[in-house]
């Protein structure tokens, strides 16, 4: 136990020092960005956006919403891996904003704070728009 705690900062600093350990591991992307949107980002964010219309009431509804917030936040991380990340600028910022907003939504769910959840939903929406404004080409 003592050794493990001791090793932690070393592991973290190696991670920072080499740029990113995660990028050196063999991560294989399977879905397209659109499939990620359809499978994860859109349904998970809809669950958060629906709170204004229909706030969760039962424990089951709160638990389901917590998992949606997790999926939403993690889908932002998936937008950042390997060839999905289009650049280190607006794409990265919008993806990270979505991760943070999803995490804020999760915090609000855990606190069962509907007002905070509505605020987090607005920030989530802003992160969608921030990316789409640059990268979603409409014909
Ligand atoms: C970091 C970039 C990024 C973020 C953040 C992002 N998207 Fe997307 N989204 C895309 C890209 C790129 C496409 C187009 C994919 C394609 O056509 O191959 C897309 C497509 C979509 C589409 C289909 C739009 C159309 O007109 O075809 C929807 C709906 C969508 N996203 C919803 C969302 C929602 C909701 C969020 C936020 C919760 C979100 N997206 C966050 C990049 C992003």
**Distance from the CA of 101 to the center of ligand 1, in angstroms?**
16
Residue 39 belongs to some domain of the structure? yes
Give yes or no for residue 11 having a pLDDT over 60.
Answer: no
Question: Is residue 133 in contact with ligand 1, taking CB distance under 6 Å?
Answer: no
Residue 112 belongs to some domain of the structure? yes
Residue 56 belongs to some domain of the structure? yes
Residue 21 belongs to some domain of the structure? no
Residue 2 belongs to some domain of the structure? no
pLDDT digits (tens, 9 = 90+) for 32-45: 999 999 999 999 99
Residue 15 belongs to some domain of the structure? no
Euclidean distance between CA atoms 115 and 106, whole angstroms: 13
Output the pLDDT for position 96: 97
Residue 9 belongs to some domain of the structure? no
Asked if 96 and 76 touch (Cβ cutoff 8 Å), the reply is yes
Give yes or no for residue 4 having a pLDDT over 60.
Answer: no
Handedness of CA 49, 52, 56, 62 (dihedral sign): positive
Query: DSSP letter at 44?
Result: H
The DSSP result for 76-117, as a single string, is HHHTTSGGG---SSHHHHHHHHHHHHHHHHHHHHHTT-HHHH
Euclidean distance between CA atoms 92 and 131, whole angstroms: 9
Output the pLDDT for position 24: 59
Q: Which atom of ligand 1 is nearest to the CA of 92?
A: 1
Give the residue-averaged pLDDT of 106-116.
98
pTM for this prediction: 0.85
Residue 83 belongs to some domain of the structure? yes
Q: Which atom of ligand 1 is nearest to the CA of 127?
A: 5
Q: Which atom of ligand 1 is nearest to the CA of 33?
A: 15
Domain count, the chain: 1
Question: Is residue 48 in contact with ligand 1, taking CB distance under 6 Å?
Answer: no
Query: Among the listed ranges 54-58, 64-68, 87-91, which one has the minimum average pLDDT value?
Result: 87-91
Q: Which residue range forms the structural domain that includes residue 51?
A: 29-135
Domain CATH number, residue 85: 1.20.120
Output the pLDDT for position 47: 98
CA distances 133 to 17, 54, 64, Å, are 33, 29, 30
Give yes or no for residue 12 having a pLDDT over 50.
Answer: no
Question: Is residue 120 in contact with ligand 1, taking CB distance under 6 Å?
Answer: no
Give the residue-averaged pLDDT of 77-87.
92
Euclidean distance between CA atoms 96 and 86, whole angstroms: 13
Q: What is the rounded average pLDDT for all residues in the chain? A: 87
């Amino acid at each position: 136990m003592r050794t493990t705690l001791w090793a932690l900062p070393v592991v973290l600093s190696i991670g920072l020092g080499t740029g990113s350990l995660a990028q050196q591991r063999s991560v294989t992307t399977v879905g397209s960005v659109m499939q990620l949107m359809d499978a994860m980002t859109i349904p998970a964010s809809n669950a958060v956006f629906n709170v204004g219309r229909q706030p969760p009431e039962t424990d089951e509804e709160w638990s389901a919403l917590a998992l949606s917030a997790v999926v939403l936040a993690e889908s932002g991380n998936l937008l950042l891996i390997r060839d999905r990340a289009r650049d280190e600028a607006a794409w990265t910022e919008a993806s990270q904003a979505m991760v943070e907003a999803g995490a804020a939504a999760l915090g609000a769910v855990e606190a069962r704070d509907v007002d905070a959840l509505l605020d987090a939903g607005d920030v989530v929406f802003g992160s969608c728009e921030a990316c789409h404004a640059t990268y979603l080409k409409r014909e």
